[in-house]
Amino acid sequence: MFHVEQALVGPNLGTVPIQITQRKVPPPHAESKKFSTATAICRYLSRAFDSRAEALPCQLFDSFPPHHAKTAFHSFAAFSTAQIPILELAVPLVLIAMGKILGVVNQKGGVGKTTTAINLAACLALEGMKILLVDCDPQANASSGLGFQRDDNRHSIYEVLMGDASAEQVILPTQIELLWLLPGSENLTGANIELAGANDRAGRLRQALLPIQADYDVLILDCPPALDLLTLNALVAANSLIVPMQAEYFALEGVSELVSNLERVRVALNPTVTIEGVLLTMYDDRTNLAQQVTETLREYFRERLYRTVIPRNIRLAEAPSHGKPVVLYDPRSRGTEAYFDLAAEYLARNGIVSPRALERKAAAALNPEKLDKNVRFWPYS
């Protein structure tokens, strides 16, 4: 049966027609109560505002054509076992999500955290994603790796954490169009002491990023090589984590300690944070040890271990001294290819199709004979 009800949703402003389709399904025992959209809305609003909801005008929607009965805004699902309406949209919703915060973390030093943060951010930006790289390390290597030398007169994330500046005031553009940097500074060393007595010491970074989070597709946090208050802020702010590590025994011990601390953070401060993946860096597949560590990690992390590995590559080591990501320093190096593969795997895992991928797909459809079969990810890699 198809009927129209007047939904009451606001004060002294008219009514809104809502179309509902309802199938007659015999109840299993007693007759169920008739569903009323108007009653449900009024009940909700009366609880929320402690006042009686009245009608709301909808002149804004007068130009919209009415839905046909088969494509009504509210309808039953294809199969139902009770007289409970299931909401189905005739037109899909457009969900505008806030940017994802991705932490690059490992308390062990020298495993390629900063190299991964810089180059993953650069590759995602070159794929058309809006990226913000946040340098949470007092050494500020992510900042210098993008060409920003230490400057005591420049605001950094330290001032943001202390409440002396907003993140939007501190953000800097980089050589790559869609990549921005929230720089670090050596003053962050004192932040661990200065924030120790603050009640919100663990959530300062999360609160600082909240106003700008929707402006970017991904926010990448380069964390210091320690489980200190700065790393704790990153764990609380992050939605997921990438853990770079070498294929060595000591690295296994470090990851087990990180997982243990992550569980404590999840229980107390951020229940949604997860490990996005474990990334093997400085990898040399010629050694038996590397292969054994890889198998051990695969047994424990299973699909969370990235298929992409970052090989030892001299261009990756040289690029920071020139203040450039490796993709700008040497676009044809093995390091560039590996990080573009990592970016592709990250996007695939999260179900994201980048703007550049759509452009390449459209170009291939128009000119299939001109498609270069040797191109793997980036046109000139």
Q: What is the CATH number of the domain that holds 130?
A: 3.40.50.300
3-state secondary structure of 74: strand
Is residue 82 domain-resident? Answer: no
Shared domain check, 305 and 266: yes
Shared domain check, 244 and 139: yes
Q: Whole-angstrom Cα distance, residue 49 to residue 327?
A: 55
Shared domain check, 158 and 10: no
User: Is residue 103's pLDDT more than 70?
Assistant: yes
Number of domains in the chain: 2
Is residue 379 domain-resident? Answer: no
- Maximum mean pLDDT: which of 1-5, 216-220, 291-295, 370-374: 216-220
Shared domain check, 357 and 247: yes
Shared domain check, 165 and 53: no
Q: Per-residue confidence at 372, pLDDT binned at 50, 70, 90?
A: low
Is residue 85 domain-resident? Answer: no
Shared domain check, 128 and 179: yes
Beta strands (DSSP E) in the chain are 2-7, 16-21, 100-104, 131-135, 172-173, 179-182, 218-222, 240-245, 274-283, 305-311
In tens, the pLDDT along 230-252 reads: 999 999 999 999 999 988 888 77
Q: Per-residue confidence at 152, pLDDT binned at 50, 70, 90?
A: confident
Is residue 77 domain-resident? Answer: no
* Domain end point (choices 71, 86, 120): 71
Shared domain check, 136 and 49: no
Residue 171 per-residue DSSP state: -
Reduced DSSP (H G I as helix, E B as strand, rest coil) percent helix, strand, coil of the chain, to 5 = 40, 15, 45
Q: Whole-angstrom Cα distance, residue 154 to residue 376?
A: 40
Shared domain check, 240 and 189: yes
Shared domain check, 273 and 358: yes
Q: Whole-angstrom Cα distance, residue 134 to residue 129?
A: 16
* Domain end point (choices 26, 53, 71): 71
Is residue 86 domain-resident? Answer: no
Q: Of 176, 166, 178, 174, nearest to 131 (Cα)? A: 178
Q: Which helix (H) or strand (E) holds 299?
A: helix 288-301
> Do residues 93 and 49 make contact, with C-beta atoms less than 8 angstroms apart?
no
- CA distances to 114, 236, 251, 259 from 107, rounded to whole Å, are 12, 15, 10, 11
Lowest-confidence pick of 4-13, 46-55, 160-169, 240-249? 46-55
Give the range of the structural domain holding residue 151, as residue numbers without chain letter.
100-370
User: Is residue 299's pLDDT more than 60?
Assistant: yes
**Where do we find the tokens 């946090």?**
221
In tens, the pLDDT along 114-146 reads: 999 999 999 999 999 999 999 999 999 999 999
Residue 371: what pLDDT? 55
In tens, the pLDDT along 17-71 reads: 444 444 454 455 444 444 444 454 445 444 444 433 333 334 433 444 444 433 3
Shared domain check, 158 and 63: no
Q: What pairing do the DSSP bridges indicate for beta strands 172-173 and 179-182?
A: antiparallel
pLDDT mean across residues, the chain: 78
Shared domain check, 45 and 119: no
3-state secondary structure of 114: helix
Is residue 79 domain-resident? Answer: no
Is residue 67 domain-resident? Answer: yes
**Structure-token pair, residue 342:** 């990592």
* Domain end point (choices 71, 89, 110): 71
Shared domain check, 251 and 155: yes
Is residue 377 domain-resident? Answer: no
